[in-house]
Chain A
């Protein structure tokens, strides 16, 4: 069966992301792989040049850099510098206003409020374009996110699209065991949002994120798998932090390869 264009992009991106983290010797791989597909889909299939993307779960910066690389915004040499001395691409998105990275994040609960400000500015200035903001699920333990939802609803920020990477695992436990909110979507709906659950890895599901539907359903709960695509990482807590050794890198490459 022929691969879709998106599938081709995804395979290359997953391999590049893996290589980047292996060469840099850094972790946060699991949360990068849960979020990568959504970032790729948004950047290749949804966002226009007028839109902006805010990565609130800043620890998935690697996936963002690779998504931007896959669009030709970042270069191979940029990715090669990831996490090295003198790099612009730090382990969390930098505050230097690089193309495709309008805001720095890394401390959770900052991206969505900033995205609200960006969306409000455009609304006040009657400027086009949407602000897409991807959060983690554990990040909803931050009170500032709920403050932002109150604000977004009150100011009718229909140019704001919230996405949540619901991989179910956070730094030191599952979201259910650390701070269970049971049904996150219900809580969001209680704050006046319309939510929609999607499979965060299936192209056919991600296709439902589009600029026509966002005004009605502007919070997408993406059901994802931490460490997606790598058998020994999938749904494993330790891959929130662990870096790859050579043996695990080789195995992962074999599993992700075309």
Chain B
């Protein structure tokens, strides 16, 4: 073989190997850096205390992350409750029932929604959702609310997650072979029976993983949620109260008040927590997928 072709081949394959190594190393590098940076606070108190305590008073050296974790979980849960059924039913409709023209209209709309920067969703939340909650939702429940609430965070996050989740679900549902649908229809099944019994069963693991990835995206989303969720540190299970999710804590405070001892380390610990929780959710959904595939 021509010498230059050999060299070229070697150069290209080693370049590809380097690229893939970098990709694999990045999460580890981030994890290690966060761990190193949060070591001071981990040494000063036990992890259980940090995660379990509800008291957040940096000036007194008290760093309890429970309100942040609960807020994050709560906002994510609400967003999932809104986004999952909407994306799921839309994906089923678009792949199994919809006809030409509607499909042609919907796909660009989903792409546009997915491409809107999160700050715009945040502004939309402040201008529309927040007044809607304070003006309409809160009075229905006989309470008053500023509107900057967990519920607002959940709704804005849901709208942001829908195109993301929907895109994944569409890809998953499209993988079902036409032959399988034809076989089921030929047995006398209706469209809905085919979808329910065969299509969804066939791509169950894909649907689960789409939901899982949607949740992890929602959990880590920062800016838009931060703009509408109120950002006050307290524990409340009332969705009409404000909250303070983990990503907002980091984004709001990093670079400020760093003169307070351990504050920098506490924020890095928050980032580490966020990463760990997302990793755990990811692993959980991968486990569900694994079980579904190997049943």
- Asked if A and B bind, the verdict is no
B-to-A contact residues, CB < 8 Å:
none
